[in-house]
Structure 1
Amino acid sequence: MLEYLMTCGSRVVSAEELLERVWDEATDPFTTTVKATVNRLRTKLGDPPIIETVPRAGYRI
């Protein structure tokens, strides 16, 4: 997921796009997988925050 976000540059990437590009097609679209993974990545990457949440739009680096 981090690799995909980095390839998108500063473009906002929706949770749906992340599910399509990073996980397989069998992943439940109503899952909290993206949110949980973002939280784990933020913890591992530390401060300053690298992944930004764009309300009602998605995530970007």
Structure 2
Amino acid sequence: MEAACTRCRDQGAASVWLATNSENTPARAFYRARGFGEVGQTQFRIADQTYENTVYRYVFGPDGG
């Protein structure tokens, strides 16, 4: 995660977005602990099943972090 965020920041991205299954409590805690904020919901479809996903965003600060 850290390497991916560093690469995005180094490429000039202002933020990083990701989504995870809304029922994946450990993943949600992992992202929040790293400073990602919840910004919305979306659905992910596999065949005839739809799964609720939580969307997160991490905004790089002026100091790059």
TM range (shorter): 0.3 to 0.5
Instruction: Tell me: higher relative CO, structure 1 or 2? Use CA pairs within 8 A at least 6 residues apart.
Output: 1
Q: Quick check: which one's helix share is greater?
A: 1
In the superposition, the TM-score normalised over structure 1's length comes to 0.37
Q: Which has the larger radius of gyration?
A: 2
In the superposition, the TM-score normalised over structure 2's length comes to 0.36
